[in-house]
Structure 1
Amino acid sequence: MDQLSAGVPVAIHLETHIKQDDDVSDYRLDADGQLVQMGENLYLRYLEPNEETQEKTPVTMKFTPDGEVHLTRNGEAELRLHFISGKRVTARYRTPYGIMPIETVTPLLETSFQERPFSGHVKIDYLLYAGEQLVGNYKIRLQFTA
């Protein structure tokens, strides 16, 4: 794991399933990214393409030793989600119009990492709330390999 402190290129496969009211959508992404270890935390970074604007949004997933996951998207709107298994957690969504308080509830959070070759599997099922209003039900499935 020593080489991780300098960063290791990884191939990322991401699938997201989104259910908002009666709308259901699936999103798939295969991208190159980088895995870095800083202290006891692992950081997975990649660029997410936006098909409408042709711009790329930087995305970072932070994995802590106690199993928490933090997801940050730094686009025109900044999204910071925090996942703790079985808990309701305050998150943040900063838009050009101001900060919107949001919360996540995470009924499923599984992470597993292997050393040779270095790879990982992440499963996150979460509910996103704005106040008491349910915004959507999300499922993230992520795999990466060095």
Structure 2
Amino acid sequence: MDQLSTGVPVMIHLETHIKQDDNVSDYQLDVDGQLVQMGQNLYLRYLEPNDETGEKTPVTMKFTSEGEVHLTRNAEAELRLHFVSGKRVTARYKTPYGIMPIETVTPYLETSFKERPFSGNVKIDYLLYAGEELVGNYKIRLQFTA
């Protein structure tokens, strides 16, 4: 895994299922990214295209040795989500108007990585709360291959 310290190009397939109130939407993305190892953590980075504006949003997923996942989206509003299996944890949503406190509850979290070829599979089911109000129910399915 020595080359991971300098970064390895990966192909990413991402599927997201979102349920907010009675609205359900599905999103798929196939994009090139980069996987980097720093210390005990793995970082998966990619640019998420916005079809409406043509801009690209930097996204980073951090995988810790403890099995936690951190997701950061650096758009006009910065979103930082933290997933810990079976726990409710504080996250952050920084808008141009201020910081909105949010929380994630992660009933299901699974990450698996293989070395040859280097690849990964990530499954996250989570509930997103703003205060005590449920914002939505989300499922992330992500695969990547070097």
Separation in 1 of the partners of 2:52 and 2:102? 25
Instruction: Please say if 1:142 is aligned against 2:139.
Output: no
Q: Structure 2: which 5+ runs fail to align?
A: none
Counterpart amino acid of residue 135 in structure 2 = V
Counterpart amino acid of residue 45 in structure 1 = R
Q: TM-score, length-normalised on structure 1?
A: 1.00
The equivalent residue for 2:2 is 2
RMSD: 0.3
The equivalent residue for 2:89 is 89
Q: Structure 1: which 5+ runs fail to align?
A: none
The equivalent residue for 2:21 is 21
Separation in 2 of the partners of 1:94 and 1:51? 22
Shift of 1:44: 0.0
Separation in 2 of the partners of 1:20 and 1:95? 20
The equivalent residue for 1:45 is 45
Shift of 1:112: 0.1
Separation in 2 of the partners of 1:48 and 1:125? 20
Query: Percent identical across equivalent pairs?
Result: 88
Separation in 2 of the partners of 1:133 and 1:26? 22
Spell out structure 1 runs of 4+ moving beyond 3 A: none
Counterpart amino acid of residue 14 in structure 2 = L
The equivalent residue for 2:117 is 117
Counterpart amino acid of residue 105 in structure 1 = V
Separation in 2 of the partners of 1:126 and 1:67? 15
The superposition leaves residues 21-48 of structure 1 with CA deviations (integer Å, 9 ceiling, x where unpaired) of 0000000000000000000000000000
DSSP 3-state at the match of 1:16: strand
Counterpart amino acid of residue 135 in structure 1 = V
Separation in 2 of the partners of 1:15 and 1:96? 28
Shift of 1:90: 0.1
The equivalent residue for 1:133 is 133
